[in-house]
């Protein structure tokens, strides 16, 4: 095995600044000294480093939590390095077992294609499309074939594979592990060989897979990549990882008003972590803003700045300004200028059924619970009677602070 190694180059102030950008908000940079030398070599030779991020298109939409690593990619892209956005159309067929306590159902090729069609379009709202290389890992994984797969599998052993926490825990608990799941980290690692990456990014739950790439590059005689892991972003509740299944997420395709209001709903404590991981403001700017809040400035001012920045990134500055005005109007008890129009029949109609049919509650029962909590208004008046029936007419119905509908009942 003839493994290439980083040689020594001078560490300039520019290299140290690039290291600081790399380290901002990151969980781990492994090994940091090798990355520093790669940065130094890049500056000395004028050769951009190859920085890889792989995402499996397991769902059609990206939420703000996914953009933590995309933001880091953009920061490194702004330093002049080559960013590779890798769509895991082959690895999606296997299903990533990371953090799973059961075998992940593999997606069909049709599902993968449908999701991949929208993935990069959404990611390009963060990355600079003109400076982003888009690749699909089926390019090299499909041609590998059965013989190549066996040769690849021979470069890692089962004992090392079972050191992985999720495999170890499932084996100990007697939970089935399918043999094909062992192929996932091998194939992700092989992506790094195929792309000759210098750095691979991922969430903390991807550490084992990222290290696999480093191992396989050494096996194939390449200079091993460094790995950079980013923390998993807590969602709106400030407790659980942002997830659609937890309903604590902000989808980057959500409308501007909803996005702005959701950012404002996070806690003052969580706000600063979001600033570090999601904002493109410099660390010095964020530190100055934090000092202002600590010395008396209303923390809501800082949160509004963050909400406008995030909303503008995925919509526009004008949309962010309009969302701020919409939020102010609603917080003062006003009705937004644009709300869904719903036409229903069956008057007189019970309020619980109306909430369900208008899409303001998942069920009549949930509607009744919202009424019990004082969260339902009709024409600005709080509804306290669950037996209320509305006759023919048009009503502005509000649930909570953000859900509105103009309901015409006949």
Confidence class of residue 51 from pLDDT cuts 50, 70 and 90? very high
pLDDT, tens digit, for every residue of 167-199?
A: 767 778 888 777 777 788 898 999 999 999 999
Q: Are residues 225 and 291 in the same domain?
A: no
Q: Is residue 246 part of a domain?
A: no
SS3 315: coil
Q: Are residues 306 and 370 in the same domain?
A: no
Residue 205 has pLDDT above 70, yes or no: yes
Q: Is residue 62 part of a domain?
A: yes
Confidence class of residue 334 from pLDDT cuts 50, 70 and 90? low
Q: The domain spanning residue 317 has which CATH number? A: 1.10.240
Residue 239 has pLDDT above 50, yes or no: yes
Q: Is residue 240 part of a domain?
A: no
* Residue 251, C-beta contacts closer than 8 angstroms, at least 6 positions apart: 61, 62, 63, 64, 244
Q: Are residues 19 and 86 in the same domain?
A: yes
For the chain, give the percent of residues with pLDDT over 70.
92
Phi and psi, residue 299, nearest 5°: -60, -25
User: What local confidence, expressed as pLDDT, does residue 191 receive?
Assistant: 96
Q: Is residue 8 part of a domain?
A: no
Residue 1 has pLDDT above 50, yes or no: no
Q: Is residue 5 part of a domain?
A: no
Q: The domain spanning residue 394 has which CATH number? A: 3.10.290.10
Q: Is residue 6 part of a domain?
A: no
For 21-80, strand residue ranges (E) read: 28-30, 50-55
Whole-number mean pLDDT of the chain? Answer: 86
User: What local confidence, expressed as pLDDT, does residue 33 receive?
Assistant: 94
Q: Are residues 50 and 172 in the same domain?
A: yes
User: What local confidence, expressed as pLDDT, does residue 378 receive?
Assistant: 81
Exposure pattern of 319-337 as b/e (b: 16+ CB <10 Å)? Answer: bbebbbebbeebeeeeebe
User: What local confidence, expressed as pLDDT, does residue 109 receive?
Assistant: 77
Half-sphere exposure of 172 (CA within 13 A, CB side): 8
| Average pLDDT, integer, range 369-381 | 78
DSSP letter (8 states) at residue 47: P
Q: Are residues 58 and 133 in the same domain?
A: yes
Residue 389 has pLDDT above 70, yes or no: yes
CA distances from 160 to 136, 206, 271, 367 (A): 28, 16, 39, 52
The total number of structural domains in the chain stands at: 3
Which residue has better confidence, 53 or 182? 53
| Average pLDDT, integer, range 41-62 | 88
Write out the residue range of the structural domain in which residue 122 sits: 13-230
Q: Are residues 345 and 326 in the same domain?
A: no
pLDDT, tens digit, for every residue of 96-124?
A: 655 554 555 667 778 777 787 777 888 88
Q: Are residues 32 and 173 in the same domain?
A: yes
Q: Are residues 104 and 208 in the same domain?
A: yes
Interatomic CA distance for residues 410 and 392, integer angstroms: 5
Which residue has better confidence, 337 or 137? 137
Which residue has better confidence, 300 or 401? 300
Q: Are residues 197 and 305 in the same domain?
A: no
User: What local confidence, expressed as pLDDT, does residue 402 receive?
Assistant: 74
Q: Is residue 250 part of a domain?
A: no
User: What local confidence, expressed as pLDDT, does residue 5 receive?
Assistant: 59
What pTM did the predictor assign?
0.73
Interatomic CA distance for residues 159 and 162, integer angstroms: 5
Q: Are residues 356 and 311 in the same domain?
A: no
Q: What angle, rounded to 10 degrees, do the helices at 67-78 and 268-278 form?
A: 40
| Average pLDDT, integer, range 395-401 | 82
pLDDT, tens digit, for every residue of 259-304?
A: 998 998 889 999 999 999 999 999 999 999 999 999 999 999 999 9
Q: Indicate the residue among 284, 312, 331 that finishes a domain.
A: 331
Q: Indicate the residue among 194, 215, 230 that finishes a domain.
A: 230
For the chain, give the percent of residues with pLDDT over 90.
44
User: What local confidence, expressed as pLDDT, does residue 94 receive?
Assistant: 76
CA neighbor of 270 nearest in space, from 245, 296, 250, 254: 250
Residue 396 has pLDDT above 60, yes or no: yes
User: What local confidence, expressed as pLDDT, does residue 153 receive?
Assistant: 81
Q: Is residue 237 part of a domain?
A: no
The tokens of 133 are what? 């290389």
Q: Lowest-pLDDT range, 149-158, 305-314, 357-366, 374-383?
A: 374-383
Q: Are residues 318 and 354 in the same domain?
A: no
The tokens of 384 are what? 């306290």
Interatomic CA distance for residues 150 and 407, integer angstroms: 62
The tokens of 275 are what? 């600033």
User: What local confidence, expressed as pLDDT, does residue 103 receive?
Assistant: 52
Which residue has better confidence, 367 or 267? 267
The tokens of 194 are what? 């195929």
User: What local confidence, expressed as pLDDT, does residue 101 receive?
Assistant: 47
Residue 201 has pLDDT above 90, yes or no: yes
User: What local confidence, expressed as pLDDT, does residue 313 receive?
Assistant: 94
Contact 127, 73 (CB under 8 A): yes
Q: The domain spanning residue 60 has which CATH number? A: 3.40.50.620
User: What local confidence, expressed as pLDDT, does residue 97 receive?
Assistant: 57
- When computed from its CA atoms, the radius of gyration of the chain, rounded to whole angstroms, is 25
User: What local confidence, expressed as pLDDT, does residue 42 receive?
Assistant: 96
Q: Are residues 124 and 223 in the same domain?
A: yes
């Amino acid at each position: 095995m003839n493994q290439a190694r980083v040689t020594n180059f001078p560490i300039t102030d520019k290299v140290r600044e690039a290291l600081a950008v790399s380290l901002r908000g990151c969980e781990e940079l492994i090994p940091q000294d090798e990355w520093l030398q790669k940065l130094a070599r890049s500056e000395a030779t004028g050769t951009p480093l190859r920085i890889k991020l792989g995402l499996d298109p397991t769902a059609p939409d990206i939420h703000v939590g996914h953009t933590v690593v995309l933001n880091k990619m953009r920061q490194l892209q702004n330093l002049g390095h080559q960013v590779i956005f890798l769509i895991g159309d082959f690895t999606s067929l296997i299903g990533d077992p990371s953090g799973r306590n059961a075998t992940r159902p593999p997606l069909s090729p049709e599902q993968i294609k449908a999701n991949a069609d929208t993935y990069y379009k959404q990611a390009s709202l963060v990355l600079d499309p003109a400076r982003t290389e888009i690749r699909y890992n089926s390019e090299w994984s499909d041609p590998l074939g059965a013989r190549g797969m066996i040769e690849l599998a021979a470069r890692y052993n089962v004992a090392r594979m079972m050191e992985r926490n999720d495999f170890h825990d499932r084996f100990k608990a007697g939970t089935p592990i399918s043999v094909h799941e062992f192929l996932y980290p091998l194939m992700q690692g092989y992506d790094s060989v195929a792309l000759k990456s210098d750095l691979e990014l991922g969430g903390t739950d991807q550490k084992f897979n990222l290290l696999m790439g480093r191992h396989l590059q050494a096996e194939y005689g390449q200079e091993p990549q460094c790995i950079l892991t980013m923390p998993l972003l807590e969602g709106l509740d400030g407790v659980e990882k942002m997830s659609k299944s937890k309903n604590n997420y902000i989808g980057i395709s959500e409308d501007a008003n909803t996005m702005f209001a959701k950012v404002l709903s996070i806690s003052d404590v969580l706000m600063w972590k979001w600033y570090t991981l999601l904002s493109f403001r410099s660390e010095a700017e964020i530190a100055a803003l934090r000092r202002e809040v600590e010395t008396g400035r209303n923390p809501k001012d800082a949160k509004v700045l963050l909400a406008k920045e995030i909303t503008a990134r995925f919509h526009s500055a004008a949309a962010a300004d309009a969302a701020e005005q919409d939020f102010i109007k609603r917080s003062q008890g006003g009705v937004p200028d644009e709300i869904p129009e719903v036409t229903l029949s069956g008057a007189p109609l019970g309020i619980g059924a109306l909430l369900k049919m208008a899409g303001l509650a998942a069920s009549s029962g949930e509607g009744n619970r919202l009424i019990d909590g004082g969260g339902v208004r009709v024409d600005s008046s709080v509804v306290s009677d669950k037996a209320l029936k509305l006759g023919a007419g048009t009503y502005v119905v509000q649930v909570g602070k953000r859900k509105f509908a103009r309901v015409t009942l006949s």
